[in-house]
Each structure stands twice: as structure tokens, then as C-alpha cells.
Structure 1
Amino acid sequence: MNQWLRENSALVLVTLCVAIAVLLLASVVFMILWIVARHGRRRALVERVEADRDRLDFELLAAEQTSRLRIIRELHELVIHSITVIVSQADGARYAAAQDPAVAARTAATIAETARTTLADLRRIVDVGRDGEAEAGPQPGLASLRELFAVMRDAGLRVTFEELGERLELKQGAELAVYRILQEALANSLAHGGQGTEARVTFRWTADGLEVLVDDDGARVAAARGEGPDRGYGQDDDLAALTAEPVGRGITEMRERTEIYGGVFRAFTMPGVGFSVSAIFPALAYHNGVHGVRL
């Protein structure tokens, strides 16, 4: 056996090299396929989250439009009844005018009062209809936070929520701004950190305003999966986190929504940990109606 190995050592060496090359090639192919599959799963996850968000928004819009149509129908019935009363009173005044002008004058006053009430109802119908037509998209509010968190958790994001202070009564526009900021921040946490990322949401209410804070550990989770940078972070990363300004469509949209309601927006990276979003509304209570007047 030893003699055969000595005589065929070159053949054995070539065979071993070929086997090793085949194994290396197979490993590389397997690694490429695994990376492609992982990115495909990540893309499918993001698409599913977006689809769930759209579904939630459409369900909220449908419920809101159904409520609006019910209000319009009820007001419409009141207007029909009021107009019927006005017609009857006008007929009575016409016949009474020939016999007793005083009765006709009193009837005219009643007709005028009924007409004013009817006009107010008609204006309400127009306002409700205009609100429905003016909506460029669905408008959820703070009452929809539970559904938003459920969608994100189903997608793999670990969401914890803490609310401090007494919640203010806000107009729909202000609630929509807060909801959209939170929705975008959670979507970013899931997109960049992936499944298993924890997003800690905190609402701090004051007498006049609100602070919204979203902290995630996406960088740490990605590093644990082997998707982060090979090197550790140091002073350069800390300096970049303090001075660099995060950019992107989502960041711009969150900042604009915050500033519309007199708030201050900030987004920054926590090296080795994740990403944080802060939207502070110091006087949100004064944006319920007339600027500068708390309603």
C-alpha cells in the first residue's frame, strides 16, 4: 500500500486538490445562494409590512367614511323634515294673511327661525362632505396605535410602549402627524434592524405638549446576525453620531410633520446599539384650533 502511494503520490495529490476545490466551490455557491435567499426573505418581509400598513390604513379610512356617511344621512333626514315644516308654515301664513296679518307676521318669524336651523344643518352636511372629499389619504389617530403595534409585531419587530402623563385631547390633524411619525420610525427600525429588533416607544405628555421617543437596537441585532461591520466602533463613530445629519425621505417627512405643529425633530445613531428618533411638541395643545389659543 505504501509503495502504491509512493508511486501514485502525484495522482493522489491532484485528486485531493480537485476535491478541495470542488468543496470550496460548493461552499461559495451555497453561501451565495444563502445570501440571496436571506435578502429575498428580508425584501418579502418589508413588502408584507408595507402591505399590512396599507391594509390597516384602508380599514381605518373605510370605517371613517362609513361614520361620515351616517352623519350625512341623519342630517339629511333632519333637513327634509325642516323643509316640510317650512312649506306647511308658509302655506298657513299665505292663507292667514288675508284674515289676520298679525298671525301671518308671527308665522313668518317662525318660518325664518326654522329656515336658519335648516341652513345650519345644510352647512354641517357640506362641511362633513368636504372633509371626506378633501382627504388625500386615510387619517388614523392615536386610537389606532394598538393596531399599528400589532402589525409591526407580526412582522418581527419587538415593540414596547410606555405612556407618561395625562393624554391631551388633540385635533385629528395633530393626531395624524404623531401617528405618521411613529409609523415611519417603526418601519425604519424594522427595515434596518430586521426581525428581532426591539423598538421602545415612549410618549411623555406635559400640560401643553408631547414628546415622542423611539429607540431601537437594530445595529446590535444586525451585528449579532453577522450583518454588521467587522470592526468595532470607536471615537470616530461617536463623533459621527453627534455631528452627522441622517438623511432620507422618511427622515424629511417626519421632520416636516413635526415642524408643522411647532415641534422639534431629531434623529441620530447610537453607535453599536441602534437608531433613535425624537419629536418634541412643546405647545401641541395650542394647535387644536386658533394659533396661540388653547381650546
Structure 2
Amino acid sequence: MRTWHDLQQLDAERPWLLDCGLALGIASAAMLSAGTAATPLQLGLIVAISAGYALRRRAPLPVLVVSGALVATMIALGYTTAVIGAGLFLAAYTVAAHRPLRTTLIGAGYCLTVLVAIAAAFPERMPWEGFGTNVALFVGAFTLGRAGQLHRRTARLEAERAELASWKQQEETRHAVTQERLRIARELHDVVGHSLGVIALQAGVCARIVDSDPAEARSGLLAIAERSRSSLREVRHILSAIRETDEPDCPAPGLADTHTLFSGFSDAGLRLEVERLGEPWPLPTALDHTAYRVVQEALTNVVRHAGTDRAWVRIRFEPDRLELRIRDHGVGAAGPEAAGLAGMRERVGAWGGRLTAGPIEGGGYEVVAMLPRDGDDR
């Protein structure tokens, strides 16, 4: 098996070497078949025909045509062609194996013409029984050659298909990894950004009242400690997806948890007016979590950038969509769209929803998110 594999590799790397060896072998066998009675002309024809076989893969059809003419000449001169003529079947196979169908049909037509001419001109050298045998052999050679070409083409297409499938799988894996990184980055941004914003606000309040109202300052510091522990738990929960630990997953927060969220902001000094409208309908867990994060990020931006201690939140369930509206009466946006707002757009867009954000008339800033009930409002 190893020897056959080595021959295949050698044939792929140096096809001319095996073709030359084949031509030399045919020439030697033909000369031995001719014996000592061979004339110089016969030997010359044998050498010429055999030399052509060495070029069978470089120029298959010319080799078939020239070799066929020379073999017909040997038959006309009365020389034996039992060995040298057998090489024509190999030449016919090569034409069919390495050239288009049109060239193969031309080669087949040429071989049939030569056989008919020989059978008609020299019936004693090629009786009609021999003619039928040669026709069958040529048909077999052309058929095998064509089948070999189709097999190689199929194998090449299968290899290309496998390569494309592998490339597609790699791209899908890379895309999945990228999406997961973005998801984790958004989660960390939402959790850490929100917590640090609230902690900074509470710390500022405590610093102002630490001398005048130590008890209230102490209460604020305890709230900061609790907020820090809560945020640390959320960060650990997010990072557990990366570590793939066996710890049970904590449920992702949703709109039902916004009372805790609002309480945290209120403790930090942000006065909130919350309005809930419509008959709530069941939210998919991921969509519920998206709604929670939108509210959280919008309020965090109020704390960071608005320069106000008041905000208004409206959560309205409509028959076909969920509307989230967060408004403040502060100084408006702090500058170009930040990563938090971009993350909200990505979250909402993933559900086929829309998010708008910008200054409002009379001062302040408003974030509005529309999340379709069926997850596809486009």
C-alpha cells in the first residue's frame, strides 16, 4: 500500500518520469516481440511511436493522432503491431481523462476512422472480428478515461465543499465568540457602570453630610457597602459564563426587579417618578432582561451626565409592544453617543425594536425604547 502511495505521489510531482518509463517499457517489449528479424525501418517506427507515448499527458490528442497514423503505416507495411499498437488504448484513455468532452469525441471519431480504413484496406490483417474487438477496446478506454476525469472532478468538488464547510464553521465559531464577548462586555458595562454611578452619587452625599448628620452618612455608607456586594455578585455571575463553573446560575433581573433598582437610585438621592401603564403580558426571559438593562442604563446616564436629582420613568404594556420611556430635566447629553447608549441600541435592535434618544423641548433628555411583543417589528 505504501509503494502504491509513493507511486501516486511521484506521478503527481513528476508525471513525465513515469511517462518516459512507460514509453521505454513499450519500446523494449515491442522490439522483443519483433525479434531479430526486425528491419531498421520497423525499429525506427517503434521508437517514434514509443517516444510519442512519453508525451501522452502533455499533448494527448496529437499523440493519439500521430501514433495511430504510424501504427496504421506499420500494418500497411506488414509489420507486427501487437505490442506497440496496444499503447493506442492508453493514449485514448489519456485523451478522455485529461481533455474536454469535445476533444474526446474528436479522438474517438479519429480512432473509428482509422479502424474502418485498416479493416477495409487490409482485411487479412484486421478481419471484421478483430475490428469489433478493437472498437470495443477503444470504447472501453474512452469510457474509463471519461469516468476517471469525472471522478477527479467530483473529488475536487468534494474537497472544495469540505473546505468551505470548514471555513464556514470557523466563521460561525468566530462570530459566536465575538457575539458572546460583546454580550459580556455589555453586561459588565451595565452592571459596573450603574453601580459605580450610584456609589459615586451616594458617596458625594455622604461627604457633604458627614459632619452635620453622621447617622445619615453612616446609613449612606452602609448602602454603598450593600450596593458594592450586590454588584460584585452580578459580576461574578457574568464571569461564571467564561469560567464555565458548575455553580447554579442566578436568574437574570427583569422588570419585576425594577423596584429594587429604583430603590437603589432613590437611596442615592435620585428622586424618581415611576408610571406603569397597560396590562402586563408575559415577557420572554431574555427580552425581560433587555428591558431591565435599558431602564438601568438610562437612569445611570441620568446620574452621570444630567446634573439633576429628578427623573421620570414610564413602563407601558401595549397589545403588540412594550414601551420604555426615561426622561430627566437636566442639562442633556454629555457629548457624543457613549458605549452605554450604543449597547442599549444593540440590545433593542436584537429584538427588532427601536431606540431613540436625544434632548427634549424645554430642557432635559429622553430615552425611548420600543420592544415588539413578537420579537420582530421590522
Please state which band the TM-score falls in when normalised by the shorter chain: 0.3 to 0.5
Tell me which of the two structures has the higher relative contact order, counting C-alpha pairs closer than 8 angstroms and 6 or more residues apart: 1
| Bigger radius of gyration among the two | 2
TM-score (norm 2): 0.35
Q: TM-score, normalised by structure 1?
A: 0.44
